[in-house]
Structure 1
Amino acid sequence: MNESLPADVADVLAAVLNRDTPVHIALQRQVPHLSVRARCTCGCGTAYFELDTSKLEPAPTDPGTAVAAEAQLVTEAGEYPGEVLVFTQGGYLSWLEISSWSNDTEVTLTTARHWLQTPS
């Protein structure tokens, strides 16, 4: 875990970037160099990153803005209240977004940590 990242952000990134694909491996290498530049003010937990790209290789993603990783959230009751998306810009980690699909269930970074269902 990266000490400069808050634990909630680091935990969710680790869970979503847990696959051994070339994109995920390259993004995992970037995580120790990340810091949170800003967070969404609505309370969802979306985090925008600061990253010094001068010493890192970009991930093999779209050269523009791309969703490089995603995971659905599943409650104990089997409901799907939202998802976590990891965005890159030019192959570099840019932000972690917590998306809600439900007006009935609060989706935050804290709940995302608990409900993450990563693709197999």
Structure 2
Amino acid sequence: MTDSLPADVADVLAAVLSKDSPVHAVLRRQIPHLSVRARCTCGCGTAYFELDPDEVEPAPTGGGVVVAAEAQLVTEADEYPGEVLAFTQGGYLAWLEVCSWSDDIEVTLAAARRWLRPRS
């Protein structure tokens, strides 16, 4: 999707922002301009973005921090171990967070690539 993002981040971000909505359309146009500023050190894969706001338009999400997109993780065994959230700040993609709801199943960005089910 973009050379500036690692494949795991780019794939999951594309899946989470796949909804056909005006907000997601604007956020998808920001993806080629993103780079990863930092990653969570726990191994979950959460990625914090850097973006030049002069290069792209902001999405109509509001001025503060907003969950602009989310997707549940559903395993092959129909278990729900967590979710992935795409946050914006001031209309710009700010970070992609991997959240675990289970102590029994390891939830990482790699696992999210397999288990994503975007919410409608």
Same fold, TM exceeding 0.5?
yes
Q: What is the distance in 2 between the residues matched to 1:107 and 1:24? A: 24
Number of aligned positions between the proteins: 120
Q: What is the distance in 2 between the residues matched to 1:97 and 1:119? A: 16
1:87 maps to a residue whose letter is F
Aligned to 2:14: 14
Aligned to 2:102: 102
Deviations 1:88-112 (A, max 9, x none): 0000000000000000000000000
TM-score for both structures, normalised by structure 1: 0.98
Aligned to 1:77: 77
Matching of residues 38-117 of structure 1 within 5 Å:
38-117=38-117
1:112 maps to a residue whose letter is A
Q: What is the distance in 1 between the residues matched to 2:73 and 2:113? A: 9
Aligned to 1:118: 118
Structure 1 residues without counterparts, runs of 5 or longer: none
Q: What is the distance in 1 between the residues matched to 2:103 and 2:91? A: 33
Identical positions, percent: 75
Q: Give the alignment's Cα RMSD to 1 decimal.
A: 0.6
TM-score for both structures, normalised by structure 2: 0.98
- Asked if 1:5 corresponds to 2:21, the answer is no
Give 1:83 shift. 0.1
2:7 maps to a residue whose letter is A
Q: Is the 8 A contact 2:34 2:49 kept in 1?
A: yes
Structure 1 stretches of 4+ moved >4 Å:
none
Q: What is the distance in 1 between the residues matched to 2:12 and 2:65? A: 20
Q: Give SS of 2:59's match.
A: coil
Q: Give SS of 1:84's match.
A: strand
